[in-house]
Amino acid sequence: MIYICLPVHDEARTIGPLLWKLKKILTDPEFRRDFRIVVLDDASTDGTGEVLERYATVLPLTILTSQERLGYGRAQDRLLRAAAEMTPYPKRDAAIVMQGDFTEDPTFVVDLVKTIEGGADIVAGSRSDLDGPTPRALRWARRAAPWVLGRTHRDAPVEDPLCGYRAYRLIVAKKALRDDDTPFCSADEPWAANLEVLSRMVPHARRVEDTPLALRYALHARPSRFQAIRALRTLFRYRRGRWWPAVDGGAA
């Protein structure tokens, strides 16, 4: 079973097409997999909840809601915990975390799933489009981030520790929670939250792999919420410290 985890906030214009695209991909006869989409509606005010309710009648869809704004980090924590609780087969099943705003191409789910099925326990998306149609502030911050993070970036077990488009074998998540039931991530800033989740998962994984991906800002239906200076200032706090314990085979 593949659990697609989507944190959403005011995504009424994009969430419906994204859900339909995911269904098309995951039910394609050449790839068909059992799946469930788990969405956290993070205090949306634009009718996102109503859109989700309509799709719940035609898709295997679980809707989580929060009346208070959680932010990306806490939303991701709730989604990963929910998937870990749902799965009856954590050694086989996987959770895929992706954005709900259609900036991340859902067709890359196929690459993530196949790499998990090939034996990886964590598969991390790796940005490959910094010269593509990316907002200038985001492109600039992406290029500055490795310098800001320093050794934390250089020693990361994946090429891009900031991208949150990833697949996790759910036994890895369950073992991480067994050893430490604190949130997977506490940062509000998405890049920092993605770094924290990866750091929690890595010690329990046998194999960690990358797969290249591209983003789709031309399809973005609203202005980006990304704040370059805020993101880099937050990352600077992660420059020091031991973030990457060795992979120990804990997911076996």
* Domains delineated in the chain: 2-133+159-223 (3.90.550.10)
The yes-or-no verdict on residue 222 having pLDDT over 80 is no
- Nearest partner of 243 among 162, 167, 138, judged by Cα: 162
pLDDT digits (tens, 9 = 90+) for 125-140: 987 555 456 678 888 8
- Alpha-carbon distance of 195 to 197, in angstroms, equals 6
Kindly indicate the confidence band of residue 164, based on its pLDDT and cuts at 50, 70 and 90.
very high
User: How far is CA 111 from its chain centroid?
Assistant: 14
What's the predicted TM-score (pTM) here? Answer: 0.92
DSSP state string for 77-135:
HHHHHHHHHH-S-TTT-EEEE--SSS-B-TTHHHHHHHHHHTT-SEEEEEE--TTSS--
In tens, the pLDDT along 194-219 reads 999 999 999 999 999 999 886 655 44
Instruction: Please report the pLDDT score of residue 215 as a whole number.
Output: 64
